Structure 1
Amino acid sequence: MKKRTLSRKEKIARNLLLALCFGFVVWASQGGPMPTAELTFRQMERTRFLARSEIMCTWETPLSVGELGTSSARAVLVGRYTDQIAVGCLFQLNNPFGNRLTLWPREEEITPVPLSALLQGEDGTLFHVLLFLEVPEEAAGAQATITGRIENAKEPVETIQGERWADGVWAFWFPIDSALTTDGDLKYGTKDLEGLPYTLELYRTDGGPLTEQEGTLPENFQPGVIYDPGLYDVLNDILLNQ
């Protein structure tokens, strides 16, 4: 029997199918990278069998890849559930490998959340960053005070002015700087900011006090997950997303 020769259109269709299959294998082997930071965050949620949270804010560094150190997250996404907060610290915006997703208890009033990753300032300084969520909209200014972050600090009490990331979300950047110590050797009395006593003070537009909240910063009740999917996880994620 004479072997049938594929037509030009059939060859094009075959080659296109092979290219798509090869592209899928490459994409899956890289962990199924997403085109945006938000989709990467959603992928991390699904892999942990979490429902879709309400995203409260997305922060991305203004620094380029060449300017940013490897120890600093490139983006932070905060999602809200009924009784907890999900925080994604993304070291690669479009690739889930090595990113962190942590869960924190959501409080009835203003919720403090210490980030599980460092952030880098434009001058190269690294920071521990503390978030306060569901801050009243009337707040025009805010400052946070913590105690005991550095064992050998010149001033054990640190007060930082906050910056507004989004509606109800304020961030406080505490520098990691040996100049803050008595001998130039940083010694931490705790893991990052967790478990430290804090005071949050909010101010109105005219500078008058709005409210004040004191407490102890929470310790992460679910360990940070380093998201490192294999091919099975990627295929499972695709099926869950159908």
Structure 2
Amino acid sequence: MQHNVQHSGCRITALVSVGRHPESGRARRAEQDARAVELGLTLAQDTLEVLHAGDPHDAALRSYAGMGVEALRVLAMDEQGDAVAVLSDYLSQDQPDVILTGGRSERGESSGMLPFLLAEALAMPVVVGVAEIVSLNGTDAEVLQALPRGQRRLLRIALPFIASVDMAACAPRQVAFGPANRATIMAQPGVEVRDAARAEWQIAPAVKRPKRLKKIKAKTAADRFKAATAKSQSDGGKVLQNKPVEEMAQAVFDLLLEEGVIR
């Protein structure tokens, strides 16, 4: 549960991107970026700046406005532009105290490197896996970092800094249709810097690679024949006989869920 944190006049900026639904492929708000906005609204409801580098006419941006943001600032940039250069040029002019980002984008490169490249360009420290900002004053902040197996670690970091928000952070609120339509999209031209490395890439849809077969080391022909004809052993599973139909059907359904056949 997110606490009510006093931000002591600190300037907070949340960076957002246009997400992609994993099933339909439709544009939406990105899950991790929405958590960053939620954290920002908890810290500074009235003064939070939501910043995007890209197309100011993208309708998916209004999903963030529907969370209670009155205005979004968009640095106009085409798909061939360098987002790090555009964002760092704007943020360096009037550097905020805290910059909130998601861990990685849901489309495009999706490398997860933007927080680190931005931190390098702005000469700011970066904290990854942020689940909550416990306290925030004019000089430093206490940050709760998410660790594996549900563990948490409390860190103290000096301002300014970049926080990469984890999925363990507070879930974003629902989008309200009215505020989303009433919000102002403040577009301004960003610095024109081409991403030369990306221009040379060949982008194709990801393909699931086949699982590698286990390499069998056999010295003799007899060993190779035995390995080729040996019956594979099952590592798990159970046999259901003379059980109620509902119980057997539930077992099959649970197995399909576990194997990812159905979702």
TM-score by length of 2: 0.22
Q: Which structure: greater helix fraction? A: 2
Normalized per residue, the structure richer in strand is 1
Point out which structure has higher relative CO (alpha carbons under 8 A, 6+ apart): 2
